Amino acid sequence: MPENKGLYQHFLARIKHVGDKLFLNAAYTTYLYSDIDPLCAKIQAVMSGAGVQKASRVLVQVEKSAEAVLLYLACLRLGAIFVPLNTGYTQSEVAYFFENSEPDLCVCDPAKKNMFNAIADKKQVMTLGKNQDGDFWDQVQSINREVDIALISGNDVAAILYTSGTTGRSKGAMLSHENLKSNVEVLSTLWQWTEDDVLLHTLPIFHVHGLFVALHCALWTTNTVIFHEKFNVKDVVADLPRSTVLMGVPTHYVRLLDDEGFTQETCKNMRLFLSGSAPLLSETFKQFEERTGHKILERYGMTEAGMITSNPYAGDRVAGTVGFPLPGVEARLGNEQDGKGVLEIKGPNVFKGYWRMPEKTAEEFTSDGYFITGDISSMDADGRISIVGRAKDLIISGGLNVYPKEIESLIDEIEGVNESAVIGVPHPDFGEGVTAIIVLDENVTLCEIDISISLKDKIAAFKQPKKIFIVSSLPRNTMGKVQKNQLRKQYADIYK
Ligand code: MLC
Ligand code: AMP
């Protein structure tokens, strides 16, 4: 019998000795480590009954809940491919993900049942609410059948996470069980997790950061997780004194610093604050240290590769840098000029390619097999990396990626719009604010609100431009290309 290399099997081997230790402490319920396998076996049985098999896709758009975590673990147990979606995605966005991933089962929030029924065959749609409700959970509670853990190889795909591209539609990054396992194995050691750690979890669970980095580290080291529905400053301040680790995006740290109740005393039990998904300003790093005595540990990653680099746990955590490549990850600068180049990486964490898009996959790799991250970086003599720019036209707002091309295409489709440029400019809360600069056709009198209304049903709210400007022309270079750098300079102060 071949060895089971599934991530679930690895977790199981590590958690079985902790028995009744508290795993998830969530708003509506708690689960013990000993609850995980019996419950996942039931969830697996419900999914099997609904026609899900190994390698089937399970498309999930649910509010954050402990049961959603168990659903994810049950997919790993079954060998089904978990496809989580941002809860903010609109019907037209979800319809694309449905068509592209061809799931055997969709699990959605009860409030979105009609929307999913309009997209999928009703038989394929089940609901899971955040308060142990929905027909999916009803079935889990009533079923008395359990199913064996599927035999999985390290190369099998565990999850598909959609990531937009600078051109075209979103691409599904396929992450294998081995990709995920290699990352958590390294991170739990590097960040010195111990069984006594308590993770305060406030991130969404449809992205690498909240789903893989945070939850996997906790499961790997059998930690208790205080599980918040979302990031809310007051709730975080209330629960920090009984936590030891917090992972956040820079916006979370900016918001904590804005709260007078957030003090050194609040952090007395804390061992580690981690930041990533967007650049942490040196100013935030310094203010945080002054207020709490803690140096935030910044790391860098992306959907296609999980975590890639990290500042050291014991050594110097340097503001404005993302540290060193993780053990096992090779990193180099491509097309280096003046000490800067696009970071290219190779390692067991790098994904298996984009779902059913072999050409797009090939475009993102060098001929010798390095993945081209699109992040312009510099590397000092010791190998410490700083992200200094982006070769890709991307905006990161509050840790969420927004691809200007997608928004520009939708704006350009609006009757009366001649052309548009969408840019990110400094925003005190979100890091970058999505901003649209629009040129109308002659003699057209659309206003900013008309544009916002047209976009409302087409894209998630976090992608909506926070400000819209109607202008008579866009700056272009001699080749006719829109000069976004010039626009970014011109609009640099609009959110200050
Ligand atoms: C919410 N809104 C945003 C936004 N989040 N707008 C811009 N950017 C964002 N990130 C909008 C909503 O649509 C809404 O608009 C209004 O702000 C208030 O919504 P909210 O739900 O109350 O927002 P809030 O809870 O305050 O959320 C903000 C946030 C959240 C920063 C806490 O976005 C968040 O938790 N972000 C983390 C994202 C994350 O996990 N990224 C990891 C990606 S993985 P309106 O118009 O309706 O009022 C990755 C790899 C790696 O990148 O390296 O980790
Ligand atoms: P995503 O595709 O959502 O996973 O976003 C990945 C992108 O987020 C990376 O390519 C970087 O551009 C950015 N990113 C993640 N972590 C950091 C960081 N610590 N500093 C700067 N950018 C980051």
pLDDT in tens, 312-336: 999 999 999 999 999 999 999 999 9
Report the chain's mean pLDDT, rounded to a whole number. 97
250 Cβ below 6 A of ligand 1: no
**Is it the case that residue 121 has pLDDT exceeding 80?**
yes
Q: Cβ neighbours of residue 472 under 8 Å, at least 6 residues apart?
A: 439
**pLDDT band of 169, cuts 50, 70, 90:** confident
Of 196, 187, 185, whose CA–CA distance to 224 is shortest?
Answer: 196
Mutate to test the pocket of ligand 1, among 211, 212, 249 (most ligand atoms within 8 A of CB): 249
The alpha carbon of 427 and the centre of ligand 1 are apart by a number of angstroms equal to 13
pLDDT, residue 168, reads 66
pLDDT, residue 167, reads 65
Query: Which residue is listed with tokens 């795909």?
Result: 157
Question: Average pLDDT for residues 74-82, to the nearest whole number?
Answer: 98
Question: Average pLDDT for residues 3-21, to the nearest whole number?
Answer: 96
Looking at ligand 2, which residue's alpha carbon is closest to its atom 8? 277
Contact assessment for residue 384 and residue 316, using Cβ atoms and an 8 Å cutoff = no
**pLDDT band of 145, cuts 50, 70, 90:** confident
Cα dihedral 140, 144, 149, 155 sign: negative
Question: What is the pTM (predicted TM-score) of this model?
Answer: 0.97
**pLDDT band of 1, cuts 50, 70, 90:** confident
pLDDT in tens, 331-364: 999 999 999 999 999 999 999 999 999 999 999 9
Looking at ligand 1, which residue's alpha carbon is closest to its atom 21? 230
| Number of alpha helices (DSSP H) and beta strands (DSSP E) in the chain | 15, 24
The alpha carbon of 454 and the centre of ligand 2 are apart by a number of angstroms equal to 29
pLDDT, residue 146, reads 79
Buried b (16+ CB within 10 A) or exposed e, 37-56: bebbbbbbbbbbebebeeeb
* Ligand nearest, relative to CA of residue 171: 2
Question: Average pLDDT for residues 171-183, to the nearest whole number?
Answer: 98
pLDDT, residue 276, reads 98
Atom of ligand 1 minimally distant from the CA of 88: 13
* Poorest-pLDDT segment among 72-86, 158-172, 195-209, 281-295: 158-172
Looking at ligand 1, which residue's alpha carbon is closest to its atom 17? 462
For the chain, domains (ranges, CATH) are 7-153 (3.40.50.980), 395-490 (3.30.300.30)
397 Cβ below 6 A of ligand 1: yes
Question: Average pLDDT for residues 83-100, to the nearest whole number?
Answer: 96
DSSP H or E segment with residue 328: none
Contact assessment for residue 253 and residue 225, using Cβ atoms and an 8 Å cutoff = no
**Is it the case that residue 134 has pLDDT exceeding 80?**
yes
Question: Average pLDDT for residues 117-129, to the nearest whole number?
Answer: 96
pLDDT in tens, 221-260: 999 999 999 999 999 999 999 999 999 999 999 999 999 9
Looking at ligand 1, which residue's alpha carbon is closest to its atom 4? 462
* Ligand nearest, relative to CA of residue 236: 1
Atom of ligand 2 minimally distant from the CA of 322: 19
311 Cβ below 6 A of ligand 2: no
pLDDT, residue 438, reads 98
**pLDDT band of 118, cuts 50, 70, 90:** very high
Query: Which residue is listed with tokens 């008309």?
Result: 450
Q: In the chain, pLDDT over 70 holds for what percent of residues?
A: 99
Note the residue count of the chain: 496
Atom of ligand 1 minimally distant from the CA of 303: 50
Of 458, 468, 484, whose CA–CA distance to 92 is shortest?
Answer: 458
**Is it the case that residue 165 has pLDDT exceeding 80?**
no
322 Cβ below 6 A of ligand 2: yes
The alpha carbon of 51 and the centre of ligand 1 are apart by a number of angstroms equal to 34
What distance in Å separates the CA atoms of residue 459 and residue 457, rounded to the nearest whole number?
6
